Chain A
């Protein structure tokens, strides 16, 4: 298992280096940062000086090495547009995105598994038909439409919830949280629902399909023949076996929730990383874009590693892979 973890880690690092190279090459190919930073009236000499100060005149391997070295330290340079350090910008925006994504993920997983199990157990009931039909909506409607629809109902018509922003936040060290104020909590509801809805329906359909498959297995029949109560068969034996494959897909989905909250953040003007990225793209603010790309890659690598390790927890067959040889 240790060797396996090391191998996964090495693969993850390789991915990060590859993404770093792509991020870095954006500096050379996306727009002209110098033109963006200085006004129309700047002289050629001014431009030359600025380019030199930013290190844009060095040969590219040197620039890449410098970029990598800084990236390891969490430094991505200075935003062309805002003139502030990118690491500070990310630090400022991170709590909003993490709070939104983690709550969405929790919401999607909890209700996804719950509805999925329900729909699998009561396969032909009215409740599961409603759930399955509803899930089709979730799978096929684009996120922004769901967000706008929710805003229309709960903010415009009913006036229950705010339509944009984080509300009041409380500072805990460098972290800001919206969970401690009423307006913060209210502001979270709609974005969380919007971001989590697609994942919820996906996880739910997956859990249902897997569970129906597992319920046909021989060991379920044998558990029935042993007189194990049906509830215990469904919730202990079947669910645990269902979760092994579900964890993989759900894990990757949750990674994408953190990484790609862009649409939801734009619809709700959520002051998170996604909104930062969208603004950066509009102004060819390459350092911010590069940092965001690296952040997304890091999230996926970490999520993947976690999923691999969860596999070991859930499935004893992997845990003792090496021990099988000594069996009888």
Chain B
């Protein structure tokens, strides 16, 4: 419905999204003014260390934040319409239908007691006004499309009868079942064999390109990002440190953290001896320093970094949250 009247704008627009956990020891800010857009058909990679808030951002967008966590500011717009303040029922209709999701572990993502075909048909029927037979036909088409061999017989198989890679294909078909505009893939290959990882990524990329579906690809595998994503967002301590086209961020990172991350990628051609390493570790959520969160580990920090928090500022084709790239013009 809203698909066409906003065709030019981004599919997803996240601005100043903040999320906090209210605990007995105080309020922990897990996401702090996270902002980014995903254009139609674009693949946005999201990278960062464990605990940087990558997965949490995905959960927040799709409205599946677990109890002590709550959104404390900012907004999420899908096709130009706000979705972060919708009722649970309205949000349910968006999940699966407008935004599909893929989780890390295909072994536990599927209900072990239901046939895979039934799980796909169930998803189709939850969002589309179709008969059981039509839903089953669609399930069969989807299984064929994601490359399950002999789909006519496998449609009635149970999840445990598939290998990990095949199960992740089933999970992808489930995420695509209702033709969403955006897929959030949360580390879709982490739990798989290395040999299968490339197949799954290629499949996901092809299916989304054919449909014009946008992808938010959460991973800590820079190789996957380099091959798959159009743009990449680097997250650190619940904030976006740098966001820009993949080639620029990899070859010419502006933020010292992004630079450190890229320096830690092993390369076959270069003989560097030891890989670069960022000293120290990411601060805990209850000990994020004032100013720039990366300052204590930053080799290039100066006075201003401790005093003021940098927002994303234009730096070449990218935008980085670092005072080093400050041109004196508020971004």
Q: Which of A219, A237, A320, A327 contacts B109 (CB 8 A)?
A: A219
| A219-B110 contact given A225-B96, A226-B177, CB 8 Å threshold | yes
Q: Contact mask A216-236 → B, CB, 8 Å, 1/0?
A: 011101111111111010000
Contact A217 B92 (CB under 8 A): no
Contact A224 B64 (CB under 8 A): yes
| A225-B103 contact given A218-B109, A315-B113, A317-B112, CB 8 Å threshold | yes
Q: Give Cα A320–Cα B115 distance, bound, in whole angstroms.
A: 13
Q: Which of A218, A221, A227 contacts B127 (CB 8 A)?
A: A227
From A223, A232, A237, A317, residue with most partner B Cβ within 10 Å: A223
CB distance from A310 to the nearest CB of B (A): 13
Residues of B within 8 A of A (CB-CB), count: 36
Q: Give Cα A162–Cα B325 distance, bound, in whole angstroms.
A: 89
> Would you call A171 an interface residue if the criterion is a C-beta within 8 Å of the partner chain's C-beta atoms?
no
Q: Give Cα A232–Cα B101 distance, bound, in whole angstroms.
A: 19
> Would you call A73 an interface residue if the criterion is a C-beta within 8 Å of the partner chain's C-beta atoms?
no
Main secondary structure, interface of A, reads helix
Question: Which of chain A's residues has its CB closest to B110's CB?
Answer: A219
Q: Give Cα A58–Cα B64 distance, bound, in whole angstroms.
A: 76
> Would you call A314 an interface residue if the criterion is a C-beta within 8 Å of the partner chain's C-beta atoms?
yes
Contact A328 B158 (CB under 8 A): no
A contact residues around B114 at 8 Å (CB): 237, 240
Contact A228 B126 (CB under 8 A): yes
> Would you call B211 an interface residue if the criterion is a C-beta within 8 Å of the partner chain's C-beta atoms?
no
Contact A225 B111 (CB under 8 A): no
B contact residues around A237 at 8 Å (CB): 111, 114
> Would you call A316 an interface residue if the criterion is a C-beta within 8 Å of the partner chain's C-beta atoms?
yes
Give chain A interface residues in 198-253, CB to chain B under 8 Å. Answer: 217-219, 221-230, 232, 237, 240-241, 244
15 contacts between A and B (CB under 8 A): A221-B103, A224-B64, A224-B92, A224-B95, A226-B96, A227-B93, A227-B123, A228-B92, A315-B112, A316-B112, A316-B160, A317-B112, A317-B158, A327-B162, A328-B162
- 19 new A-B contacts, CB < 8 A, other than A222-B174, A224-B64, are A218-B108, A219-B108, A219-B110, A221-B64, A221-B103, A222-B101, A222-B171, A223-B111, A225-B62, A226-B101, A227-B123, A227-B178, A228-B92, A228-B126, A237-B114, A240-B114, A314-B113, A317-B160, A327-B162
Footprint of A on B, CB under 8 Å? Answer: 62, 64, 88, 92-97, 100-101, 103, 105, 108-114, 122-123, 126-127, 158, 160-163, 165-166, 171, 174-175, 177-178
